[in-house]
Amino acid sequence: MTPRKPERLPLASLLALATAAFITILTEALPAGLLPQMAQGLAVSEAWVGQTVTFYAIGSLVAAIPLTAATQGMRRRPLLLSALAGFAIANTVTTFSGSYPLTMVARFLAGVSAGLLWALLAGYAARMVPDHQKGRAIAIAMVGTPLALSLGVPAGTFLGQLVGWRMCFGLMSVLALLLMLWVRVQVPDFAGQPAGKRLSLGAVFVMAGVRPVLFVVLAFVLAHNILYTYIAPFLAAAGMAERTDVILLVFGVASLLGIWIVGVLIDRHLRALTLTSTLLFGLSALALGVAGDRPIVVYTAVAVWGLAFGGAATLFQTAIAKTAGEAADVAQSMLVTAWNLAIAGGGILGGLLLESLGVAAFSPTLLLLLTATLIVAWAARQQGFRAMPC
């Protein structure tokens, strides 16, 4: 009997989705690297410019679930193109705006586009391939995230110093327009959900396995953002403040390795990878708490942390896509909301810990969150984080 040839992944289409993820993350994070230039250009303080990231997150937070629910019946490619058009418009307005309020409106619009796009990406990638390739397809679609964080933001910061911050956002608009052409030519279209098959938000939320996945997302990403948001004061306490850029580079490179490993193994080992990532992150938090004043420990722990976090988005999105089935887009919108709540919560909780107890409180807090993550992921063996069939 002739062995069946392995089915080829639609790489051109999946890489278009990865580029969309790249644009989404870079649009969100770029102001962090351009604070002084943007503050001067908009005649406000750096703290006020920092709120451009907050408004972006708020846009994603408030829009993901209602927009996804309202557009269940729409064809997928026009919806994806609409989200990309939102980025093109928002970044163009940011490029030319001399008004701080107008810039904030544009950032909110970009966040709304991001909320819709994140809810679409995993389900879109999964619909392009057979069931046994869904995890790998989602991994490829998500590769734009670590690339944006590890390479895009540093490159954008450097470019902003050379040609100005407005040019950076202008180039983002051009990239979004080129991607719209790529999507129109290369990415297949899919029908929306028929009216009779659409599930309400409540029905999706109570599906077996959905709530454990959402809890794991919230706890894991909250732990990550407490440490990532306040990595500078943590390193300052260890006498390594001047190494912050190198530490973040180590984290970014390790994240790329993490998403590659997850992409190779996820279709057979989703459960094991989720548990391993949580354990590795926990070990990193423990090492930083016990010996966070030793440079070799810090570098090693940050690398392990990056390895654990790199594939997390892929793991969680694959888990909820598998669990929710035809309601994957609605479930993904809930995941996007939980993720953004964790981002906001990381900033708030981390700030409270820093002010009241100092960076020494980070490690035990992370360990508590990651222990809860591990318990819930372990218990969700039947639905949520179940083993993939061979």
Indicate the average pLDDT of the chain: 86
- Residue 196: the pLDDT is 59
Instruction: Please report which confidence band the pLDDT of residue 205 belongs to, taking 50, 70 and 90 as the band edges.
Output: confident
Instruction: Please report which confidence band the pLDDT of residue 5 belongs to, taking 50, 70 and 90 as the band edges.
Output: very low
Mean pLDDT calculated for residue range 90-114: 94
Greatest mean pLDDT among 9-13, 53-57, 282-286 lies in 282-286
- Residue 87: the pLDDT is 96
Q: For the segment 304-319, what is each residue's pLDDT rounded down to a tens digit?
A: 999 999 889 889 988 8
Instruction: Please report which confidence band the pLDDT of residue 377 belongs to, taking 50, 70 and 90 as the band edges.
Output: very high
Return d(Cα 108, Cα 252) in angstroms, integer.
27
- Residue 96: the pLDDT is 95
Question: How long is the chain?
Answer: 390
- Residue 286: the pLDDT is 96
- Residue 390: the pLDDT is 43
Q: What angle do CA 71, 73, 76 make, to 5 degrees?
A: 75
1 pLDDT exceeds 70? no
Instruction: Please report which confidence band the pLDDT of residue 388 belongs to, taking 50, 70 and 90 as the band edges.
Output: low
The residue type at 387? A
Residue with the bigger pLDDT between 387 and 199: it is: 199
Least confident of 45-49, 169-173, 175-179, 293-297: 45-49
Burial class of residue 29 in the structure, from the number of CB atoms within 10 Å of its CB (0-12 exposed, 13-18 middle, 19+ buried): middle
Return d(Cα 97, Cα 174) in angstroms, integer.
17
Least confident of 167-176, 314-323, 339-348, 365-374: 339-348
Residue with the bigger pLDDT between 52 and 91: it is: 91
Mean pLDDT calculated for residue range 80-98: 95
Q: What is the pTM of this model?
A: 0.80
Q: For the segment 180-198, what is each residue's pLDDT rounded down to a tens digit?
A: 999 999 999 988 777 656 6
Q: What angle do CA 16, 80, 188 make, to 5 degrees?
A: 60
325 Rama sector, left if φ>0, alpha if ψ -120 to 50, beta otherwise: left
Q: For the segment 11-25, what is each residue's pLDDT rounded down to a tens digit?
A: 999 999 999 999 998
Q: For the segment 246-262, what is each residue's pLDDT rounded down to a tens digit?
A: 887 888 889 889 988 98
Give the pair of three-digit tokens for residue 107.
């950032």
Q: How many CA atoms lie less than 13 Å away from 34 in the CB half-sphere?
A: 31
